[in-house]
Structure 1
Amino acid sequence: MSINARQIFVNLPVRNLQKSKSFFTEVGFTFNEQFEDESATCMVVNETIYVMLLEEDRYTSFTKKEIPDTNTHSEAIVALSLDSREEVDEVVNRAFAAGAGSYNEPQDHGFMYGWSFADIDGHLWEFFHMDMTAAEAEAKTKTQQ
């Protein structure tokens, strides 16, 4: 059996919901207020990907595990593909202007370009652009060697 999920909802704990919502609004995301209350909001990535930002008390009501200290631990890297290198730079620079911390310098692998930041709660975000034509050409070259 193959899983064919229709949507993804990533859940992230945040210390201050309004500050996190303001941060991600400045980065360029929108929110579905239909799924919002005083301790949670639904950030829209696209029509099938959503990020639920949950105040820490709300988040811990869903799990018995502790929330890791994002200053010393990583729980995940949220990686999102974009249409161009320029769009990657634009989004990450907006995040820095909104208060994001540096995580990785831009990485250029020829066929793939990416740049990362840590949001105001320390969650790691990576935005990348992959040139599939260049990736296929590189793979073809490797197989011919």
Structure 2
Amino acid sequence: MPDFLHIANSFATDPMASLMLAIPISFALIVLSEKIWWVHVPPAFVLLIVSIIFLEKRHLALDSFLVGIFAFPPLCRDIPNQPLLFRIGILWFSAFALIAAAIYAAGDRVQHVTPLGQLVNDRTSSPVTIMRAN
């Protein structure tokens, strides 16, 4: 049982693990979306809530894939036949998975800037600096 808790904890706290869970779920639900066109919304809503509550900062790769999951039901409602639904669904989620992977890969290269609050707290006032210089 502790293994399942560890897995659930990693999905709740690691954005990449959540993304790796969201991608196969979205592909698996394409089959059900033929009958129930809104089937992608509940898993996306759950992942969004978990992301907001447990992750300490927003993760753009997971959020971009969640946008794709939320945007698919209105699109899939208007697709006339099953083969076309499968083709469009696979292309749709593949495109959003590639976008999420590119965002995740680019996120490691970004230089993190010092938070503004830390800069303000470390700085002394101007008159004190002028007095100290004399």
Which structure has more relative contact order (CA 8 Å, sep 6+)? It is 2
Q: How does the TM-score come out when normalised to structure 2? A: 0.25
Q: Which has the higher strand share?
A: 1
Q: Which has the higher helix share?
A: 2
Tell which structure's C-alpha radius of gyration is larger.
2
